[in-house]
Structure 1
């Protein structure tokens, strides 16, 4: 979820959009998210559901590819990984 500046500025809804995002990240809503088997981002809620959500190893684009441009070129340029997967599936 994100706020698209151009949209909220045009509509005058930035305050409402920010309030909605803040609400989604609240522990109460994160608890509902976990109840429906989606991994919560709130550490306290995640701890309460530790049996269901085992730890996962995460990484950054920089750690895996060096930078965003290299990741873009490798995976999404013409003939990149994405194109190869799509061709393989056809």
Structure 2
């Protein structure tokens, strides 16, 4: 990348980012090499949950999440409302399908 990412534009109907309380300003880019136990590329659902579970298992780990824009931007932010353990149908109907 040639410089810091531009501030992301709004995502219509984005509950996750719209209610985060953050001003959505991208953080400063890394100024050089860093040494960590785990480097995670991408701050969406997969990246953030990976970091969460790794730290829950071993809080001494040094983890870096590297995100081009801001965590939760992109598909994870747009689709955040669909991430639910509930299906929009009755369990019986789901089994029949």
TM-score calculated relative to the size of structure 1 = 0.26
Q: Which has the larger share of strand?
A: 2
Higher relative contact order (CA 8 A, sep 6+): 2
Bigger radius of gyration, 1 or 2? 1
Q: Which has the larger share of helix?
A: 1
